[in-house]
């Protein structure tokens, strides 16, 4: 199997977030707060998120910390189907995705499509668009694109 071109060939910006999916958000924050500073917690119900071709409602509990310019995101699914619940159901936990903040989500998704990445999770909040993309030859870590404004 031929691996895709390095993501750097697409002129993506630097990674600005590493997202982890966890089973117990409170315990994870308590364990990592000394490393990544204080965490901001967010309880997020989302409606009409596109997930593997189906609109769905999902509820996530999240916490955000930082190391330098990199945001550390911990996500615990509360309800609904999502890439996060899929990740845990596969017996995984840990690094789930890396994020790139981009000026045009649609253009970036199209460019990533040319090297075999497919969107599996997408939501347009009006002020922001985010999407997760997967590639069959990768280790399961997803690529997230975020467009603000």
Domains of the chain, first to last: 14-148 (3.10.180.10)
User: Where do the DSSP E strands lie in the chain?
Assistant: 15-21, 40-51, 54-67, 70-79, 94-101, 118-124, 128-134, 142-148
Q: What is the mean pLDDT of residues 17-32?
A: 97
Q: Which of 66, 68, 69, 120 is nearest to 96 (CA)?
A: 120
Which residues make beta-bridge pairs with 44? 60
The better pLDDT of the pair 137, 5 is held by 137
Q: Considering Cα of 84, then 86, then 89, then 92, what sign does the dihedral take?
A: negative
- Do residues 46 and 55 lie in contact, with contact meaning Cβ atoms separated by under 8 Å? no
* pLDDT tier, 5 (very low <50, low <70, confident <90, very high otherwise): low
**Predicted TM-score (pTM) of this structure:** 0.91
Please tell me what DSSP assigns to residue 35. H
pLDDT recorded at residue 93: 84
pLDDT recorded at residue 16: 97
Instruction: Tell me how far apart the alpha carbons of residues 146 and 35 are, in angstroms, rounded to a whole number.
Output: 25
Average pLDDT score, the chain: 91
Q: What is the mean pLDDT of residues 53-75?
A: 96
């Amino acid at each position: 199997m031929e691996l895709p071109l390095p993501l750097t060939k697409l002129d993506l910006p630097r990674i600005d977030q590493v997202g982890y999916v966890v089973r117990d958000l409170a315990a994870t924050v308590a364990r990592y707060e000394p490393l990544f500073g204080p965490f901001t917690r967010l309880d997020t119900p989302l409606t009409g998120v596109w997930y593997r071709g189906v609109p769905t409602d999902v509820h996530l509990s999240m916490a955000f910390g930082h190391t330098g310019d990199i945001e550390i995101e911990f996500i615990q699914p509360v309800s609904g189907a999502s890439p996060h619940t899929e990740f845990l159901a596969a017996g995984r936990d840990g690094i789930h995705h890396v994020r790139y903040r981009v000026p045009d989500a649609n253009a970036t998704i199209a460019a990533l499509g040319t090297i075999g990445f497919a969107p599996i999770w997408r939501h347009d909040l009006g002020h922001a668009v985010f999407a997760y993309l997967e590639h069959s030859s990768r280790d399961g870590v997803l690529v997230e694109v975020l467009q603000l404004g």
